[in-house]
Amino acid sequence: MSRLGKIREALSSPVEPQALGKGREKLAAVMVIIHGPEPTIIMTERPKTMHHHAGEISFPGGTWQQNDVDMLETAVRETGEEIGVTIERDRIIGQLRTVNTLNSGFAIYPFVAVEEESPRIKPNSEIESVLRIPLIPLLKTLEDDKDPAHQSIMEMYTFKFQRHLIWGASARMLHQIYASLSSNSLI
């Protein structure tokens, strides 16, 4: 089995796209896209002019809208809008645990797609740049924040890619991937 196939197997999980929030929280969904023979993950850099999460590195995705049937539809729609990539619902192989943002108060539903081919990307104005990051080398840059003040609030991790620091909710999602791949001896 290829390395990408092993990653697909390790990250496969039930997909439960319904929002299970309290009704008042802000809801968002993202698409974690892993592709290629050298497993690569797609992340985006948000423009510094954005209202929420300006300049941050994140997965393609965005805010739930009332006409979205469920959180998976939000992830599919937003991924198409932001980077011009359509991932069909039946191509979703798993879902990570919901992650909450500390500052903006979003509950984020991350869905996972593993594709053999590298998707063609056409970013919109919400994206400063698209990052295609080799997955395993990225996960090896994991740093735990040992500051007890942070630990009492929420798990804090950082990952590094070139000049970019990945932190916050995106890093907590990457940590879930790290934990899954580590437990399957893929890192």
Looking at the 3D structure of the chain, how many domains does it have? 1
pLDDT at 24: 56
Report if residue 120 sits inside a domain: yes
Report if residue 187 sits inside a domain: no
Report if residue 182 sits inside a domain: no
Report if residue 105 sits inside a domain: yes
pLDDT at 156: 80
pLDDT at 30: 96
Report if residue 26 sits inside a domain: yes
Report if residue 161 sits inside a domain: no
Which stretches of the chain drop beneath a pLDDT of 70? 19-25, 50-54, 144-155
pLDDT at 101: 83
Based on C-alpha coordinates, what's the Rg of the chain? 15
Report if residue 96 sits inside a domain: yes
pLDDT at 19: 64
pLDDT at 96: 97
- CATH code of residue 59: 3.90.79.10
Phi, psi angle pair for 145, to nearest 5° = -85, 110
pLDDT at 76: 96
The half-sphere exposure of 58 on its side-chain side, counting CA atoms within 13 A, is: 29
Report if residue 171 sits inside a domain: no
Which domain does 46 fall in, by range?
3-134
Using CB atoms within 10 A of its CB, is residue 183 exposed (0-12), middle (13-18) or buried (19+)? exposed
